[in-house]
Amino acid sequence: MTQIPVPPRAFRSAGTLVTPLIALIVLAGCASATREGQVALLSGDNADAAAHFEAALAKNPTSVNALVGLGVARYRLESFADADRAFTSALAQTPDLPVAHLYLGLSALRRGQDDVADAEFGRFAGMGVAPRLTAYIDRTLRLLHSIPASEELRAYMADGIADQAAWAGEVTDAVNAANYARGAWFNDTRVYYVVRSCRCR
């Protein structure tokens, strides 16, 4: 079985974990459909991204890269059940995948599944997340459990957690930008897959 090389700070340190995001490794030789899906996610075209990732999965149903990308796209499109299936399938291949637990927590928060959200965020926090991000998630969950939460408030809370995760991933953004600038994206065997989440109007 091929072992994915994990940069010591990309997955294990909150400072470069997600920008909510993903610090997911893309192996050299990855199908063009996955690359196109990544580009579509970065540009905010989530429906197109989902189509590309589905095409990649039609060729390789166990691709963690494509499963996570599809999960992100479906989450952004508010197709939460579909997103959950993609992340769960990714975890079946790579159990210690922080970004999957993050998004499963966000999805559960949006869907009103508070016990599931607590459990998933707990797993995420146990994977080397920065104390600042963990504290923000804890405060958000305490507030969630103390008041009736409308769908709008849940969306606001989820976006807040995603934004904090984005701040935690700024170093990863810098590495990714440097890779693109020197054209290393197509040649490096370890490219940082960073997908920014935004609900800009």
Class of domain 31-167: mainly alpha
Would you kindly state where each structural domain of the chain is located, as residue ranges? Answer: 31-167
Q: Considering the chain, what is the average pLDDT of its residues?
A: 76
The 10 Å Cβ neighbour count of residue 85 is: 15
Q: How far is it, in rounded angstroms, from Cα 160 to Cα 168?
A: 12
Report pLDDT for 196: 42
- The pLDDT tens digits for 12-65 are 333 334 444 443 434 433 448 999 999 998 889 999 999 999 999 999 999 999
Tokens representing 22 are 């993903």
Per DSSP, helices labelled H in the chain are 32-43, 46-59, 64-76, 80-93, 98-111, 114-125, 131-146, 151-168, 170-181
- The pLDDT tens digits for 125-180 are 998 888 889 999 999 999 999 999 999 999 999 999 998 887 876 434 444 444 44
The answer, yes or no, to whether residue 75 has pLDDT greater than 60, is yes
The answer, yes or no, to whether residue 190 has pLDDT greater than 90, is no
- The pLDDT tens digits for 96-131 are 899 999 999 999 999 999 999 999 999 999 988 888
φ/ψ of 45, rounded to 5, equals -90, 80
Q: How far is it, in rounded angstroms, from Cα 109 to Cα 128?
A: 21
